[in-house]
Amino acid sequence: MAQQINLLTPILLAPKRYFSATAMAQALGLLLAGALLISAWLLWQSRQTRQSYQQIQAEANNERQVLMDALMRLPGSTDPAALNQQLGALQQGLLQRRQMIDELGRGRALPGQSHSDLLRLLARTVPPPVWLTELRWTSGRLELQGLTLEPPALQPWVQQLAAHPLLRGQQLATVKVERIESGGPDGTLAAGSEAGPALRGAARPRWRFTLVSASTPVPAPSKASAP
């Protein structure tokens, strides 16, 4: 009698093992992959949130600065007493600055009217037979002292100085011219003495002179009589 064997009988099949090492390894790999994906997404969200927070904070700072600028541009107190006090403080500060400017400008020579300009003028115009020994220049007064071998040379030089704009308004006058009795019995200067290039050479008489300037008064304008 023939017998039939059914190989598909569940009893004859190998049982499925759900908790085998392979299944557990696959499940663990899936969990790790999911955790990595979730971590990456959380990190991206954190960066986006941080950037948004920084942008919002920058906008808030800008708005705060704009508000402070607007508050500073607002007019101050309208109280008359406070306004008068502020005005007085400003006027006092302006007065102090003007006084400081006046103090700084006091004694400052105008261009072309300094002591160096006067020295250049004298060095350029002094005649050869004239020798300056002393110079004094104060406000409105010029005093020159020196020696000369030719007294007539003083007059053209004085006129040249008086015509210069530096001494405008001042009148130079020869106060005193006297002969010096030194260097010899006849009042001459010995040759080779240290009296300057103009006085070297042969023995010649010399004179001491003094020039003093005085301010010339400006005449008052005459009033025309009515017809």
Q: Would residue 165 count as lying in a domain?
A: yes
Q: What percent of the chain has pLDDT over 70?
A: 66
Residues 126 and 64 occupy one common structural domain: no
Q: What percent of the chain has pLDDT over 90?
A: 12
Cα–Cα–Cα angle for 37, 42, 45, rounded to 5 degrees = 125
Q: Would residue 81 count as lying in a domain?
A: no
Cα–Cα distance, 154 to 140 (Å, whole number): 21
Over 70: is that where the pLDDT of 26 sits?
A: yes
Q: Would residue 196 count as lying in a domain?
A: no
Interval 209-223: pLDDT, tens:
888 876 554 444 444
Q: Would residue 93 count as lying in a domain?
A: no
Q: Would residue 80 count as lying in a domain?
A: no
Higher pLDDT, 127 or 191: 127
| Residues 161-183, mean pLDDT to the nearest whole number | 74
Q: Would residue 169 count as lying in a domain?
A: yes
Q: What is the pTM of this model?
A: 0.40
What CATH code is carried by the domain that includes residue 175?
3.30.1360
Residues 210 and 139 occupy one common structural domain: yes
Domain that holds residue 58: 22-72
Q: Please report which confidence band the pLDDT of residue 14 belongs to, taking 50, 70 and 90 as the band edges.
A: low
Residues 209 and 133 occupy one common structural domain: yes
Report the number of distinct structural domains present in the chain: 2
Higher pLDDT, 45 or 174: 45
Residues 67 and 123 occupy one common structural domain: no
Residues 120 and 175 occupy one common structural domain: yes
Q: Which two tokens stand for residue 158?
A: 């004085």
Contact criterion met (CB below 8 Å) for 143 and 212: yes
Over 80: is that where the pLDDT of 138 sits?
A: no
Higher pLDDT, 86 or 77: 86
